Amino acid sequence: MVETIRKSTRSEREQWVMDARYNLFNLKSEQVFIDLLTDSGTGAMSDHQWSEMMLGDESYAGASSYYKMKDAIEELLGFPYYLPTHQGRAAENVLFSALMKAGDVVPGNTHFDTTKGHIEFRKAKAVDCTIDEAFDTQLIHPFKGNLDLNKLEKVLKAHPKENIPCIIVTVTCNSSGGQPVSMQNLKEVKALAEHYDIPVVFDSARFAENAYFIKNREEAYKDHSIKEIVKEMFTYADAMTMSAKKDGIVNMGGFIAMRSEQWFRDASVYNIMFEGFVTYGGMSGRDMNALAVGLRESTTYEYLDSRIRQVAYLGEKLTEYGIPVQKPYGGHAIFVDAKRFLPNLPKEQYVAQKLAVELYLEAGVRGVEIGTLLADRDPDTRKNRYPDLELLRLAIPRRVYTNNHMDVVAAALKNVHDRRDKITRGLKITREAPIMRHFTVELENA
Ligand SMILES: *Cc1c(COP(=O)(O)O)cnc(C)c1O
């Protein structure tokens, strides 16, 4: 599918971003020239996916589309049970309803915002056990998504087993920069978890991109196919949640997959309550068909190689221009280090959000803040949490933009970089929601 995009003038953008209260989520899509807000649900489906849409079985119960997805999940990921959901956070809502209670502790590598939101909503606590190397954007480490086994074991030791419903491993780790977790680390986490008798759940939105990095960076896997690597990765998980809007290459969809029949039964109750009957769970039959194909396509080397190279292409351009970005480059996005980009702004003034606004004003390019706004307030003290990393994420949709678009993005950010000394005021909040505020927050110039 091809869409037209529209250029705008700086003065138009100044008005629009003010009307949007400096929250880029409030812009209309036609006010955006190149949209790197997210790679979620923004991919282009293939000819094979579109043709499967025509074959969707919309039966309420027992649709063939449910079984097409079941076959793909069993074959590629190795899980015997699964529940469709309308997207990733719905999978979290359903599974966590069955697993978690107030007072629980859920260790993992930097939990994604909706994951953390669903944990904290249940008055449980997410504990970040990512390796320290992940928090230095300039340090080269092949697997910055890895969990620190010492940090993890400390958490497992400090709490009774009844209060640790699971460990959540996010592959790739979105919040720390689209950084992969090594097979070795997945194996070690599972071994430690087994020792303490705690289940492991993979938050799997970008599992295929993670497999690509394992193939390219972990010597023992260089001759393995992506599908072999994916299959082995999931042997170290008891269950998975999936936002299919990423590596499923569909516009909407998700699922939970698991090994335990008991978990399947427990979660089915919540799926029926929140999502839909067990065999559709919020998805249309045609969408389940497209997802089954998407999972097969995203686990091919050729596709992953072209995608991840495009992300690296943007990263290289920005590096050439002297712009500080997270290294090594992530799988789905380039993360600009906003604290290094705008060192003169105080952390209280939402530095990465300011940078996102400046990039939009410069060329109509929309990125997203992964920083203080996203980190939200501490649920107990209600104080702002200031994360180690203050990032502007430029997420690349799958199979949508060309490298010419990447050139425009890089040039625009270079222009902002060239005038960075003139950016002396950040932003302040005028209105915010009690949880997951970044989606709806309103700001003004500080
Ligand atoms: C996108 C995402 C989710 C949430 O999925 P939605 O489909 O947006 O609801 C959860 N975890 C990770 C790692 C994600 O990237």
Q: Can you give the pTM of this predicted structure?
A: 0.94
Residue 54, CB-side half-sphere exposure with 13 Å CA sphere? 4
Structure tokens at 377: 């307030």
Using CA positions, which residue lies closest to atom 14 of ligand 1? Answer: 205
Q: What is the reported pLDDT for 407?
A: 98
Dmax over CA atoms of the chain, in Å, equals: 61
Q: Is 205 in the pocket of ligand 1 (CB under 6 A)?
A: yes
Q: Distance of alpha carbon 117 from its chain centroid, rounded?
A: 14
Span from the CA of 244 to the centroid of ligand 1 (angstroms): 8
Contact 82, 255 (CB under 8 A): yes
Please tell me the distance from the alpha carbon of residue 417 to that of residue 98, in angstroms, as a whole number. 48
**Cβ(363)–Cβ(17) under 8 Å?**
no
Q: 112 CB less than 6 Å from ligand 1?
A: yes
The torsion angle over the Cα atoms of residues 77, 307, 43 and 175, rounded to 10 degrees, is: 70
pLDDT for the residue numbered 297: 98
Q: Tell me, in angstroms, the distance from the centre of ligand 1 to residue 202's CA.
A: 12
Tell me if 254 CB under 6 Å of ligand 1. yes
More confident residue, 117 or 155: 155
The rounded Å distance from CA 425 to ligand 1 centre is 32
The predicted model gives 120-147 an average pLDDT of: 94
Which domains does the chain possess?
10-32+309-445 (3.90.1150.10), 47-298 (3.40.640.10)
Alpha-carbon distance 138 to 437, whole Å?
Answer: 29
| Nearest-CA residue for atom 5 of ligand 1 | 88
Poorest-pLDDT segment among 11-15, 170-174, 184-188, 391-395: 170-174
Decide whether any atom of ligand 1 lies within 6 Å of the 85 Cβ: no
243 lines ligand 1 (CB under 6 A): yes
Q: Which of 35-44, 340-349, 374-383 has the lowest mean pLDDT?
A: 374-383
What CA–CA distances, in Å, run from 115 to 109, 121, 329, 370?
11, 10, 23, 15
Q: Is 207 close to ligand 1, i.e. is its CB under 6 Å away? A: no
What is the atom index within ligand 1 of the atom nearest the CA of 254? 7
pLDDT in tens, 349-391: 999 999 999 999 999 999 999 999 998 898 889 999 999 889 9
Q: What is the mean pLDDT of the chain?
A: 96
**Nearest protein Cα to ligand 1, atom 1:** 243
Of ligand 1's listed atoms, the one at least distance from the Cα of 173 is: 13
Backbone dihedral region for residue 62 (phi beyond 0: left; psi -120 to 50: alpha; all else: beta): left
Tens digit of each residue's pLDDT (9 = 90 or more) over 230-262: 999 999 999 999 999 999 999 999 999 999 999
List the catalytic residues. 60, 112-113, 203, 205, 246, 438
The DSSP line for 38-78 is -SSS-PPPPHHHHHHHTT----SSS-HHHHHHHHHHHHHH-
pLDDT of residue 388: 86
pLDDT for res 93: 98
Cα–Cα distance for residue pair 207/220, rounded to 1 Å: 18
Cα(383)–Cα(378) distance, integer angstroms: 6
Give the pLDDT confidence score for residue 11 in this predicted structure.
Answer: 98
Please name the residue whose Cα sits nearest to atom 6 of ligand 1: 88
pLDDT for 1: 75
- Looking at the predicted structure, is the pLDDT value of residue 136 above 90? no
Q: What is the pLDDT of residues 270-305, one digit of tens each?
A: 999 999 999 999 999 999 999 999 999 999 999 999
What pLDDT sits at residue 325? 95
Q: How far is the CA of 113 from the centre of ligand 1 (A)?
A: 8
Answer yes or no: are the C-beta atoms of 173 and 128 closer than 8 Å.
no
Q: Return all residues near 169 (Cβ < 8 A) that are at least 6 apart.
A: 108, 109, 147, 181, 186, 189, 200, 201, 202, 203, 237
| Close Cβ partners of 122 (under 8 Å, ≥ 6 residues apart) | 96, 100, 101, 102, 104
Nearest CA to ligand 1 atom 4: 88
Within 216-322, strands assigned E span 239-243, 254-258
Instruction: Name the percent of the chain lying above pLDDT 70.
Output: 100
Cα 223 to averaged position of ligand 1 atoms, centre (Å): 30
pLDDT category, 210, cuts 50, 70, 90? very high
Token pair for 27: 């812009």
The whole-number pLDDT of residue 137 equals 83
Nearest CA to 347 among 299, 312, 317, 387?
A: 387
Omega cis (within 30) before 346: no
Ligand 1 within 6 A of 93 CB?
A: no
C-alpha closest to that of 299 among 66, 80, 78, 141: 78
Q: How far is the CA of 257 from the centre of ligand 1 (A)?
A: 15
- Nearest to 441, CA basis, from 352, 17, 431, 376: 431
